[in-house]
Structure 1
Amino acid sequence: MSKKTSASWDMVQLAGAVADLKRDHYRILLTMSVLVDLLVDRGFVSREELERKTAAIDDELETLIDASLRPMG
């Protein structure tokens, strides 16, 4: 197989892998959405609690990522 054909095949495989990831991502988001709806509908947690906790975890992760990208010292 020539280099051009090999590179083309690599791109086809990459595109397929990305499509698989997109499908998996969609299924995970759908499942999480259903679980959140069930938890809220059954009174285990409120949407406001979920939003507060999500924001807190997001802030914490942003701080950790920033710290790892800009180590002190």
Structure 2
Amino acid sequence: MESFSTSMDLVQFIGKLGDLKDEHYHLILVQSALIELLIAKGLFSRQELEHQIAELDRLMTGSPYPMA
């Protein structure tokens, strides 16, 4: 009986993971569409976006402790 419960837990976990993948795909799709619309409307350029992404990435991957 215990292995059935464990197997069911695994099946439920895999199902939740599948749901998360679908949700992630839809969120990225909406984000991409919004970015393309904002660029098309001239609110910012692709270069400005790339610069901002690089800046945020630099801040996020840098050391959390300032170097003196």
TM more than 0.5: yes
Structure 1 residue aligned with 2:52: 53
Structure that is richer in helix per residue: 1
1:1-73 correspondence runs (5 A): 2-63=1-62, 66-67=63-64
CA RMSD of aligned residues (A): 1.4
- Unmatched tracts of structure 2, length 5 or more: none
List structure 1 runs of 4+ shifted beyond 3 angstroms. Answer: none
- Unmatched tracts of structure 1, length 5 or more: 69-73
Query: Alignment length, in residue pairs?
Result: 65
Q: Percent identity at matched positions?
A: 37
TM-score between both structures, scaled by the size of structure 2: 0.88
TM-score between both structures, scaled by the size of structure 1: 0.82
After superposition, what is the alpha-carbon deviation per residue over 1:39-70, rounded to whole angstroms, capped at 9, x for unaligned?
Answer: 0000000011111101111111112xx538xx
